[in-house]
Amino acid sequence: MARAGLTPARVIDEAQVAVDELGVDALSLTALATRLGVRVPSLYKHIESLDAVRQAISVRAKVDFADTLARAAVGRAGGDALLAVCNAYRDWAGTHPGRYQTTLRAANPGDPADIAASERAAEVIFEVLAGYGLDEPQRVDATRLLRATLHGFVSLEAAGGYLLPVDVDRSFDRAIAALDRALAGWSGGVELPGGR
């Protein structure tokens, strides 16, 4: 019953496809074994556990996500880089919904590959934000705003949350234009009354 050529890499390849189709929480060793045409005990020749599979998916997804964002940013600066990276973010998250969910996990402190992959995605965003003249603390704040905006948008879009009759692409473009304006004035530092 075992499928010829089964390797740890092949198991993770199939698992990441399954995560996109079924969702992270629906991934099980039973479902994975069925997809691969083997029995669950046979998987243990190639993987340690379901948690190890999820961790491997997360690392791969973070690497692919960071590479996608980096390719989008090449040769661009300021608002042009921001728009390209935001579009790449939205497209990648929409194409790989399960894998996208795994990129939200904080890096596992015991996994150097996960730390490096997580840092790579942050570096791409930091480089884009540096084009706005932001120093490091400002880039951290701006990264949090950017991430919250993009995650909120793509999550609502994936859940079918945009049913009003205005074009969703138009709304996305306007959100990015608003971020661009906010980032352009960010270094001036605006404090809210009663702010922390």
Which pLDDT score is estimated for 104? 92
- pLDDT greater at residue 188 or residue 133: 133
Backbone dihedral region of 37: left (phi > 0), alpha (psi from -120 to 50 degrees) or beta? left
| Mean pLDDT of all residues in 125-154 | 92
Give the residue-averaged pLDDT of 151-178.
93
CA dist 18 and 12 (Å) reads 10
Q: What is the pLDDT of residue 73?
A: 95
Give the mean model confidence (pLDDT) for residues 34-41: 93
Cβ–Cβ < 8 Å for 69, 121: yes
Cβ–Cβ under 8 Å, residues 100 and 93: yes
Write out pLDDT tens, residues 1-11.
Answer: 445 578 999 99
Mean pLDDT of 66-78: 95
**Sign of the alpha-carbon torsion through 131, 133, 134, 135:** positive
Q: How confident is the model at residue 105 (pLDDT cuts 50, 70, 90)?
A: confident
Instruction: Count the neighbouring beta carbons within 10 Å of the beta carbon of residue 188.
Output: 6
Mean pLDDT value across the chain: 91
pTM assigned to the model:
0.89
Which one, of 78, 100, 80, 105, lies nearest residue 90 by Cα? 100
